[in-house]
Amino acid sequence: MPARFVSIWFRHLLTDWLTIRRPDLQGQAFVLAAPDHGRLVITAASKAVLSQGISEGMVVADARALIPQLQVFNDRPGLAEQLLQALCKWCIRYTPIAAVDKPDGLVLDASGCAHLWGGEKPYLEAIVAQLNAFGYDVRVAMADTVGAAWAVARFGNGGQGIIPSGQQTDALLPLPPAALRLEPDTLERLQKLGLYQVSSFITMPRSVLRRRFGAALLLRVDQASGWEEEVIQPLLPPLPFQERLPCLEPILTRTGIEIALKRLLDTLCDQLQQKGKGLRSAVFKGYRVDGKLEQVEIGTHRATHNVQHLFKLFEDKIPTIRPALGIELFILEAPKVEDLAPLQESLWSGGCSLESIGLAALVDRITSKLGEQVIHRYLPEQCYWPERSFKQTDSLLEKATTEWRNDIPRPVRLLPEPEPVTVSAPIPDYPPMLFTYKGQIHYIKRADGPERIAREWWVEAGPHRDYYTVEDQEGRRYWLFRSGHYDADNPPCWFIHGFFA
């Protein structure tokens, strides 16, 4: 499959954007300007202004001498780049690989995409029609190389140019040297020598071109002709496991959305199964006709490529999708994928284990309905310091590297960070008589301890802790500790760290 690239040139990016926001400016004479060395310099001009001899880079004062009624708006730094990034994300509906081409364009890797719209001509027409509907004046071109598409979009004849595969060099010949994206000094030298077209110098010996104009000219010629590969940097790197489903007509109903999801799940899970993998998370995206994006996400506690199970997880979230005027493209992505080994599973006649597919499916359904924060799984860590003695995992198959400590009682609930408490009548190496926590006084009736826990000196420095298991007058048990050694002149601080069942 030959590579095919699309270059989109926004001829009046900033002024079109402002006209979209301010429809009353349609057909008016206005410019955007930014300060430069104490002067206001025009950075973008409307079509009405350009037709009267005013161009970018002109000082606003000089422009107003030509057009007294000229309206001037402030140009925000980075505005053009922000607009291009937003438009680039919108173009992902036409290809998974879209890149920003500063200062006023986009590049799409359309390899293998055009047939989904019925061919290259309908593909480009769909892109132009949508951008024109938004209010942007664009020119587009498609070719085997980024350089050729860029050149034809900006210097070719007509608003849409489709260069047949393998004919990009011929398409470049009648164009001016600026179509090769050359530096200004190189263009100036070519102009002085009377080389007004690419055909005037492209057949010259390469050694002559290198000596007279440098290696940059040869690189641009090679990139545009396809002799040197040009890599684009996509705004969003495409995922290896992704399926796309464009729609001939916009989808408005839940039934249509479910049919699209089922088709995408069938294709994606078949691909995963062939490669011995299963997904741990999936994102279902719907690109609406009005340019908005609707998406829902699911996660699983073990890798799977079971279509029915994944559809059930998505089914609960489909009502949150708002199709509005209709969804024209569906995308299903699997951002997190793991190897899936065949599992010999026993029936649920006795107990069940964490390796049970049924248990994983049950946990997935619960978290899908109630949220990911409802179910937690913890594994022990080889560390005595309480905050680092365990870790949280979202996988049911992850194995513990050590055993839980059960020789000494530990609280069922451990606070993320110890919280200070106020104590009364502390005695060295003894628990306090009472403590105050969140404004409530707890009289201690029973206590065990102290248990001294020191920090790992190779991790961090700091005082040790002397922990006590205490019980108050209502029978509730807490885990308190004193930080550091007892000192009557400088009383140590006390903290609460956990709650027993």
What would the pLDDT profile of 263-318 be if each residue is shown by its tens digit?
999 999 999 988 888 898 999 999 988 888 899 998 887 888 889 889 988 988 89
Buried/exposed 204-231: b ≥16 CB within 10 Å, e otherwise: eeeeebeeebeeebbbbbbbbbbeeebe
pLDDT surpasses 80 at 140: yes
Q: Which two tokens stand for residue 102?
A: 């500063």
Q: What 3-state class would DSSP assign to 416?
A: strand
pTM (2 decimals)?
Answer: 0.66
Q: Quick one: pLDDT band at residue 444, thresholds 50, 70, 90?
A: very high
pLDDT surpasses 60 at 350: no
Range(s) within the chain of domains with CATH label 3.30.70.270: 1-238
Q: How far is CA 329 from CA 240, 248, 318, 359, in A?
A: 19, 9, 15, 34
327-339 β-sheet, strand order: 242-251, 327-339, 277-288, 293-304
Cα 256 to Cα 215: distance, rounded to the nearest angstrom:
55
What would the pLDDT profile of 20-55 be if each residue is shown by its tens digit?
999 999 988 999 999 988 889 999 999 888 888 888
Least confident of 41-45, 325-329, 344-348, 397-401: 344-348
Look at the chain and count its residues: 501
pLDDT surpasses 90 at 384: no
> If you search the block for the tokens 């009682």, which residue do you land on?
409
Residue 266 region by backbone torsions, left for phi larger than 0, else alpha for psi between -120 and 50, else beta: alpha
Helix axes 184-192, 206-213, angle to 10 degrees: 110
SS percent in the chain: helix, strand, coil, step 5: 30, 30, 40
Q: What 3-state class would DSSP assign to 254?
A: helix
State CA 501 to chain mean position distance: 43
CATH of 1-238, one of 3.30.420.240, 3.50.30.60, 3.40.50.2300, 3.30.70.270: 3.30.70.270
CATH of domain 242-339: 3.30.1490.100
Predicted local confidence at residue 98, as pLDDT: 93
Range(s) within the chain of domains with CATH label 3.30.1490.100: 242-339
Q: Tell me what the mean pLDDT of segment 443-463 comes to.
A: 86
Q: Which two tokens stand for residue 437?
A: 């926590």
pLDDT more than 70, % of the chain: 91
Q: Quick one: pLDDT band at residue 349, thresholds 50, 70, 90?
A: very low
Predicted local confidence at residue 429, as pLDDT: 73
Amino acid symbol at 424: S
Query: Hey, CA dihedral for 180, 8, 139, 30, is it positive or negative?
Result: negative
